[in-house]
């Protein structure tokens, strides 16, 4: 991996980390959902700083270029994050549905109580 490419990747990772930190600071995103992204930044940063590890893994995996291995690792990790967030969204949708039903039942009881008092 060339020196220019390593510098570019490090800069991109730093910019992404700063962006995520600002989103947390502005309270636009909860920290528990950003932690996997920070883990991705740390892992990719380590692989960029220590390219020997990438070259070793690339050779073991039979991939032609180390940069391809880096992007593959990032892609797989990103898919993992997306899947975990999909699970979270599904759980939240179920909770919203349950809460909506409870609210509807409570409103019905209130209306029935009001009608019974008249």
116 is a domain residue:
no
Q: Is residue 11 part of a domain?
A: yes
pLDDT, one tens digit per residue, over 63-98 is: 998 888 878 888 888 898 889 889 989 999 999 999
Q: Could you tell me the maximum CA-CA distance found in the chain, to the nearest angstrom?
A: 82
Instruction: State yes or no: pLDDT of 117 exceeds 80.
Output: no
Asked whether residue 102 is domain-assigned, the answer is no
Is 72 within the bounds of a domain?
yes
Residue 118 lies in a domain: no
**104 in a domain, yes or no?**
no
Q: Give the domain extent around 33.
A: 3-93
Q: Tens digit of pLDDT for each residue in 4-16?
A: 988 998 999 999 9
Q: With beta carbons less than 8 A apart as the criterion, state whether 43 and 77 touch.
A: yes
Domain count, the chain: 1
Residue 110's pLDDT band, with cuts at 50, 70 and 90, is very high
pTM exceeding the 0.75 threshold for the entire prediction: no
Q: How far apart (Å, rounded) are the C-alpha atoms in residues 48 and 69?
A: 11
* DSSP states along 70-112: HHHHHHHHHHHHHHHHHHHHHHHHHHHHHHHHHHHHHHHHHHH
Q: Is residue 31 part of a domain?
A: yes
């Amino acid at each position: 991996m060339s020196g220019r490419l390593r510098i570019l990747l490090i800069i991109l990772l730093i910019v992404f980390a700063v962006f995520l930190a600002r989103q947390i600071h502005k309270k636009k995103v909860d920290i528990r959902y950003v932690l996997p992204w920070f883990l991705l930044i740390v892992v990719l940063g380590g692989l960029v700083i220590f390219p020997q590890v990438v070259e070793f893994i690339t050779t073991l995996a039979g991939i032609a270029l180390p940069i391809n291995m880096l992007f593959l690792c990032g892609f797989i990790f990103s898919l993992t994050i997306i899947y975990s967030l999909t699970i979270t969204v599904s759980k939240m949708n179920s909770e919203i549905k349950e809460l909506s039903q409870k609210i509807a039942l409570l409103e019905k009881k209130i209306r029935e109580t009001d009608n019974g008092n008249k």
